[in-house]
Amino acid sequence: MGKFISVKSFSFFLLCPAIVFGQAAKKFEFVYSITSMPGAVPNTYYSSENLFIRDMMIDPPQKVKIKLTKKERQQIENKINEINFFSYPEVYKFERVDTPAVIGVPSVCSKYSVTVFVNEWPKNVSWNNCHGGGKSKNNQYENLQELSELIWNIIVSKKNFKKAKKPRAMYL
């Protein structure tokens, strides 16, 4: 007597090959973005395309190919896990541990955004640096800034970034 596999079961195994081997396949990608001024083109890195789009201020945005090493990608993924990124709200609003007597706000505020895709499921967190300083509750702001600095420092350390055309102007 022959064995019968239903079409439903067969399609399940075709769509989920990693389950067949007892381990879920994991694909990690991210998009990192910084906007320095309202209305400016965000400086954005797309890990899936190894592409950084740089705001050139008065010139059209520049596309720079930047490929991260496995080690660099792992550092970023480790940081995302370390700070419990998936527990953050979509729009993080700074909450101070205590209220200092004098609160100053930066004259220029930047907006940051990180979107992480694990197996194509996105999680986006955006935040800004428009607050008067002090420590945040649960160190969340500091954690997001560390993640941002890690990604930014990796990008600017790359040869293609250093060789790329420099902007002819700057925001004040």
Q: Where are the beta strands (DSSP E) in 47-155?
A: 51-54, 62-65, 111-118, 121-128
Instruction: Report CA-CA distances (Å) from 122 to 46, 131, 146.
Output: 13, 27, 21
pTM: predicted TM-score of the whole model, two decimal places: 0.79
For the purposes of burial, counting CB atoms within 10 Å of the CB of 51, is it exposed (0-12), middle (13-18) or buried (19 or more)? middle
Residue 161 has pLDDT above 80, yes or no: yes
Specify if 2 maps to a domain: no
Domain that includes residue 121, residue range: 25-163
More confident residue, 40 or 75: 75
Which two tokens mark 115?
A: 């979107």
Taking every pair of C-alpha atoms in the chain, what is the biggest distance, in angstroms?
A: 84
More confident residue, 27 or 46: 46
Residue 20 has pLDDT above 60, yes or no: no
CATH number of the domain that 39 lies in?
Answer: 3.30.1560
Q: How many domains does the chain have?
A: 1
Residue 114 has pLDDT above 50, yes or no: yes
Q: How far apart are CA 15 and CA 7, in angstroms?
A: 12
The whole-number average pLDDT for the span 155-168 is 92
Q: How far apart are CA 150 and CA 9, in angstroms?
A: 44
